[in-house]
Amino acid sequence: MALTSKQILYIEDVIRDSLRDKFLNYKPESINMPFHYRLLGKDRMSLYSFMQSLNTTFGTSIFEPAAVALAKLRFKDAKRSVIAGTQISEEAHKVIQTIMDGLITGQEDPNKAEEIERIRVVCQNGKMNTVKPAKVDVLVVSKDDSIYLFDIKTVKPNMGDFQKFKRTLLEWVAAVFAQNPNAKINTCLAIPYNPYEPKPYRRWTMKGMLDFDSELKVADEFWDFLGGKGSYNELLNCFERVGIELRPEIDEYFSKFK
């Protein structure tokens, strides 16, 4: 399914506006790096620093709105930066901790379908505790009312982060069930691109914590799920066209660091 001309224009506007906004508001850290400057040039080091800063904002300023734009045509609903819920039952908390303990110690293998049902059984048992789970980056609802909650992550998360990520995915499940025990819920990590391409994504860093088939979508797995087959490549084309268009502005911006 190809992107519509309206989707393409919107996504390119998002990319263009995000980059120009970064040019206006970016303030390089005043760090003296005399050896690096003399070896590589201050303009190249400034470009590197700019890219590092841009990477931190890609998720909210580009990836999230692009994901929603892609999903709008294929799904009943699509939103960004939403709250899964504000309450989780006391018993659901206990089940989540039991699941985490089993995964951390290696006594259990991740099985998202089974974990979801274990939480569903106790989702409204005991005291309902008010919580503030991490915001959902992208929420989509399919035509059969299946809910998909995505947490968009950097392409190379630290190994130690995955325990936190896993707990967040489980807490989202419990928060949704606290409102509707019969909900059809899926929670997943999304990695926008594969830095190891053409080799497979190095999922060994997540081994034992995530159910790869149900809790992880990388590159085209994520974008094509939202927008249909070919969406990932069309999205890359949007970036390329905007990059060519703005090349003079980019060169002019970094020329002042020479």
Question: Is omega for the bond preceding 133 within 30 degrees of 0, making it cis?
Answer: no
For the chain, give every domain's residue range: 1-74+229-258, 75-227
What is the amino acid identity at position 258? Answer: K
What integer pLDDT is reported at residue 41 of this predicted model?
A: 76
Split at pLDDT 50, 70, 90, the class of 234 is very high
Q: Which two tokens stand for residue 91?
A: 């018993």
**Mean pLDDT over residues 173-192, rounded?**
96
Q: What is the pLDDT of residues 37-67, one digit of tens each?
A: 777 777 777 777 777 777 777 888 899 999 9
Split at pLDDT 50, 70, 90, the class of 71 is very high
Split at pLDDT 50, 70, 90, the class of 31 is low
239 has pLDDT over 90: yes
Split at pLDDT 50, 70, 90, the class of 204 is low
What integer pLDDT is reported at residue 1 of this predicted model?
A: 55
Q: Residue 155 — left, alpha, or beta (φ > 0 → left; ψ -120 to 50 → alpha)?
A: alpha
- What is the spatial order of strands in the sheet that 136-141 belongs to? 77-82, 136-141, 146-152, 184-191, 216-218
CA distance 204 to 207: 5
Longest dimension (CA), the chain: 64
Pick the closest to residue 188 from 199, 204, 172, 201 (CA basis): 172
What integer pLDDT is reported at residue 68 of this predicted model?
A: 95
**6-10, 139-143, 248-252: segment of lowest average pLDDT:** 248-252
- The CATH code of domain 75-227 reads 3.40.1560
CA distance 93 to 99: 10
178: exposed, middle or buried (Cβ count in 10 Å: 0-12, 13-18, 19+): buried
What integer pLDDT is reported at residue 121 of this predicted model?
A: 97
Average pLDDT over the chain, rounded to an integer = 89
Phi, psi of 42 (to 5 degrees): -65, -35
**DSSP-derived secondary structure for 149-217:** EEEE--SS--TTHHHHHHHHHHHHHHHHHHH-TT-EEEEEEEESS-TTTTSPP-GGGGTTTS-HHHHEE
13 has pLDDT over 90: yes
Q: Which two tokens stand for residue 174?
A: 């419990």
